[in-house]
Structures are given as C-alpha cells and as structure tokens.
Amino acid sequence: MEATACGWVVRFTPHICLNKSGGKETASVTLNHKGRKANGSIRHVSMSYLQCRRVPIGHKMRPSMELSRSRKDFHATTIGSSYFHASIDERWLLKTKGDEVSSCLDGRSIFLVGMMGSGKTTVGKILSEALGYSFVDSDKYVEQVMGGASVDRIFSQCGESFFRDYESEALRRLSLMPQQVVATGGGAVIRPINWEYMKQGVTVYLDVPLDALAKRIAAVGTESRPLLRFESGDAYTKVFVGLFTLSKKRGPSYASADVTVSVLDLARSLSVEDISDITPTAIAIEVLVQIEKYLRGDNVSTRMLP
Ligand SMILES: Nc1ncnc2c1ncn2[C@@H]1O[C@H](COP(=O)(O)OP(=O)(O)OP(=O)(O)O)[C@@H](O)[C@H]1O
Ligand SMILES: O=C(O)C1=C[C@@H](O)[C@@H](O)[C@H](O)C1
C-alpha cells in the first residue's frame, strides 16, 4: 500500500489485528515497510477506527493511509487516514525514502547544482547518508588535485578559466564513479560539457531565493568566494548584488537539471512563512521525493541541454 499526500510517498503494509482476551478487546498495529517493521519509529497511533466501527475479532485489514508533512517544527511527520493517525520521525522518513530511491537509482550518482550557499554541501551530506552513497564536494576535489591550494588561491593565481578546466576534469572523473552524491561548484553549470558529465547521473537543482543566500553567505563572510568580492556596500548588499549578477547569467543553465527543488515552493506547501524554518533534512527528503518522481517519469522534462 502506498501512502501519499503533498508529494511525499511511503509504502506501508499496515495490519491491524484485534484480539479478545479476558473479555477485553485489544488491538495491535504493525506497519511494515519493505518487510521491515516500522513500529519502533512510530510515536503515536490513535485508532479512531476501532472506536467507531465493530470489526470481527482477529480480522486483519489494510486501510489506505495518507502521509502529510508537518508544519513549522518538523519534529514529526503525520500520517493520517480515516482509520488512524500516526506520527513518524523525520529521520525515519528520510531513511525510508533513501532506501526506496536508492533501489530505483541503480547506482546512479546524484549531482547537486545551485548557487553558492544553496545548501549543496549540507543537504548533500544528509542525502548521501540516506542513500548509502559517498559524498564528494567537487571544489574540494579540485583543491586536492591542486595539492591543497584553495579555490580562492587558484582563482587569484591562475585565473577563473584555469579553475574551470580543473572543475570540468573533476566532474568528468566523478561522472565515471557510481553511488556518489556530488556537491558541484556554483558555476559548474556554465560549461555545456559539464552537463554531459553530470547527466551520467541525476542532476538536482537546489533553488533558494537570493535573499536567503545573501544572508547565509554574509553571515560567514566571502573570504573563500572569489566571485563575490567586487561589489561595494555592506556585507549583505555586496553579496546580494554579486549573486544577482551571477544568477542572471546562470538561471537558464540551472533550469536544465533533471529535478528542481524550490525551497520557496516547499515552504508554501508546508505553510512555512520563513524558509529558514525548513531543515536541511526536510529539503533532503523533498529531493528524494522529486528524484523518485523523475525516475518514475512523473515529471517529464522537455528541457534541452544548454
Ligand atoms: N536549509 C538551510 N537552512 C539554513 N542554513 C543553511 C541551510 N542549508 C545550508 N545552510 C547554511 O548555508 C551555508 C552554505 O551552505 P552549504 O555550504 O551547504 O552550501 P553550498 O551550496 O555547498 O555552497 P558552496 O557552493 O559555496 O560550496 C552554510 O553556513 C550552511 O550551514
Ligand atoms: O559560483 C561560482 O562560480 C563558484 C562557486 C564555488 O563553489 C566555487 O566553485 C568557486 O568559488 C566559484
């Protein structure tokens, strides 16, 4: 049985067993997911069904269930149906989704693209754990190949196009390896050849509003971000203007990803006003949901490579 609502889908086989002992009716609920019992993660099961309908003793039923995402706090996700309600832990949902998507991916890697600060590293690490994949940051990969020189130093001493050549070579090599979540550099999308490498796996665009990106980056500084140091003004304005200029050039390229996860759309569907209330884990779950849809052909893309 499949539990669906608001885009998150989990497959369960729920069994409700009624037993009579000592004149009292008791009930037990077991939710199986791919043969594994999920009871341990379920915090609460309220069986309204049992209160309003008589069910033959020992009868097993398989009710349909709906899964809806929780608002605001994200501590739990609520499963609801006309029969019963249950709350499950967000981490459990991540792992469950991770297992499902992992089996559909058949070893294909995930390439996360998006502007600087969009959470490719943060969300990517969570995703890799959920999928049982390794995590690679392509900027770090280039730094290693360059004997530990920072991206910033490579830019200042050798120039951007030198860095881009190494970035392309890093993506080429990474595209040959299975079962990896790759956090790409923010500018990796600008070279068409990089798309050929990244499309060996599934490409995912993390779409985060510039205002949120500018706040995140201004908070940690621009020391390691050579492309954001040329504007004038306070830290936030400098970063915002720099990001705005880059995003104008890159918007169409990001749109070539197989899957787009818009943090703004996610916030809307969760009725969350402030996107900073959305945890990286919730974004990782949404990425898995969207990848699954893509692999099933639910969101057929007519977009062309740049
Ligand atoms: N969902 C989130 N909510 C709030 N802050 C976040 C979120 N995701 C990431 N951050 C913060 O934003 C900053 C940038 O995140 P991260 O390094 O993951 O982005 P990135 O896309 O890998 O950036 P870059 O391309 O520059 O390497 C970090 O300080 C991180 O803690
Ligand atoms: O957006 C960009 O062009 C960049 C993003 C970083 O990840 C680094 O790859 C580098 O600073 C360039």
Report CA(13)–ligand 2 centroid distance (Å): 45
| pLDDT for 124 | 98
Ligand 2 atom 7, closest CA: 185
Written in H, E and C, the secondary structure of the chain is CEEEECCEEEECEEEEEEEEECCEEEEEEEEEECCEECHHHEEEEECHHHHHCCCCCCCEECCCCEEECCCCCCCEEEEECCCCEEEEEHHHHHHHHHHHHHHHHCCCCEEEECCCCCCHHHHHHHHHHHHCCEEEEHHHHHHHHCCCCCHHHHHHHHCHHHHHHHHHHHHHHHHCCCCEEEECCCCHHHCHHHHHHHCCCEEEEEECCHHHHHHHHHHHCCCCCHHHCCCCCCHHHHHHHHHHHHHHHHHHHHCCCCEEEEHHHHHHHHCCCCHHHCCHHHHHHHHHHHHHHHHHCCCCCCCCCC
Does 48 contact ligand 1 (Cβ within 6 A)?
no
Q: How far apart are CA 133 and CA 57, in angstroms?
A: 45
- Please state the atom number of ligand 1 nearest to the C-alpha of residue 280: 1
Q: Where in the chain is the domain with CATH 3.40.50.300?
A: 93-296
Report CA(217)–ligand 1 centroid distance (Å): 8
Ranges under pLDDT 70 in the chain: 1-89, 230-231, 299-306
Report CA(185)–ligand 2 centroid distance (Å): 5
Q: Nearest bound ligand to CA 189? A: 2
Report CA(187)–ligand 2 centroid distance (Å): 5
| pLDDT for 2 | 40
Does 63 contact ligand 1 (Cβ within 6 A)?
no
Q: What is the ipTM of this complex?
A: 0.97
Q: How far apart are CA 89 and CA 75, in angstroms?
A: 7
| pLDDT for 4 | 34
Does 286 contact ligand 2 (Cβ within 6 A)?
no
Report CA(116)–ligand 1 centroid distance (Å): 8
| pLDDT for 109 | 98
Q: Is domain 93-296 in CATH 1.20.58.390, yes or no? A: no
Q: How far apart are CA 235 and CA 66, in angstroms?
A: 45
Report CA(280)–ligand 1 centroid distance (Å): 9
Test site for ligand 1: of 112, 122, 204, 213, most ligand atoms within 8 A of the Cβ: 122
pLDDT digits (tens, 9 = 90+) for 146-197: 999 999 999 999 999 999 999 999 999 999 999 999 999 999 999 999 999 9
| pLDDT for 299 | 62
Q: Which amino acid is at 18?
A: L
